Amino acid sequence: MARQQKEQPRIPQDWALFAWQGVKVMVPPDWSPSALTGNYEEGYVRLDGPDQPRLEVKWAQSGKFVNIEDVVQRYCKSLTKGREGKGVQTSESTKLSVKMPKDRSSVRFFSWRLDEEAYGAAWYCKTCGRVMLVQVLGQPGTGVDTLAEQVLSSFEDHPEGDYLAWALYGFSCLAPKEFRLTGQRLLTGLLELDFENGRDKLKIVRWGLANIALKDTDLEHWLRKESKKGWRNFHVILEPTDIHGHEGLAIAGPSAAPLVHLGAIALRMIGRKFPDVLRGAAWLCPQGNKIYHVEALIDPADEGKVAVLVQSMVCHKEGA
Ligand SMILES: [Zn+2]
Ligand SMILES: [Zn+2]
């Protein structure tokens, strides 16, 4: 007997990638993050459209069995709290046409309706051990259910391989997944993500308005000035190099502190790693009018990871 194939909803071409803490999803281009909290184990993100919240994702790691039906029921109950008589309609038997990966267990779809309408799903992922609750919101009668199917069908809740995708505001990269996000600056004209893995450090920065930043200077001088504080204990060498078709700089800097050097030698003698070099790259993307700066404090044995990260960063679209 031929098995009926669920047709996957098509994702419009202009949709953008959003990726954060192992979650990866395609969304309409005018949805952008308004809340990014927590960490890989537990967190919450919300993406807003021009006039209202459109997507919410909550996750929590759990080592033990989680009753997803309970999670959804409790959630729907929390919506009706204090709104008795306001006609909140909830349904846990919503039929959305979404094909879920095999490692998701206890998948439950739900919907509710108040002044706005929401369609969502919750599940437990056996691979990453996280409970996910995802909902798409919108005005009733605007096809929120179809939108939810599109969003959910593109939704990934953990990375494949050794790198974690980070993507927002048109920026995207793959960072080694052992690095944990420790800081973020998301300002107009500046996007910075900071990571740590033990003593290893990694930062990824995108500056806007490059033409203004480089008005009376060049990339090398600008970068040295920007990085003065961070580089004070390193002999930083900047080598011109081609990055994504742009004029860029390869950053290499051994530590200038003699004791660090000794510590590194001692640890390497017993087969351990020690982060005592800076490795990275910076480049100007004229198409996007942006400067990119990636820098890691790592053991030289890990420099290939920085190369993968730089390679993964799409700074402009071909033909743009
Ligand atoms: Zn997962
Ligand atoms: Zn570019």
Query: Cβ atoms within 10 A of the Cβ of 292, count?
Result: 25
Q: How far is the CA of 55 from the centre of ligand 2 (A)?
A: 29
Q: What is the pLDDT of residues 284-305, one digit of tens each?
A: 999 999 999 999 999 888 889 9
Name 32's Cβ contacts closer than 8 Å, sequence gap at least 6: 47, 48, 168, 169
Q: Tell me the CA–centroid distance for residue 285 and ligand 2, in Å.
A: 4
Give tens-digit pLDDT for 111-149.
Answer: 988 888 999 999 999 999 999 999 999 999 999 999 999
| Alpha carbon of 315 to ligand 1 centroid (Å) | 28
Instruction: Give the chain's end-to-end CA distance (angstroms, integer).
Output: 48
Task: Tell me the CA distances in angstroms from 273 to 15, 158, 269, one per residue in order.
Answer: 41, 27, 9
Specify the pTM.
0.89
Least distant ligand from the CA of 286: 2
Residues of the chain with pLDDT under 70: 1-7, 82-90, 92-93, 258-263, 266, 319-320
- Domains, the chain: 16-153 (3.40.1000.10), 173-312 (3.40.1000)
Q: How far is the CA of 234 from the centre of ligand 2 (A)?
A: 28
Q: Which ligand is nearest to the CA of 131?
A: 1
How far is Cα 54 from Cα 118, in angstroms, rounded to an integer? 9
The answer to whether 286 and 141 are in contact (CB under 8 A) is no
Query: Which ligand is nearest to the Cα of residue 248, counting in written order?
Result: 2
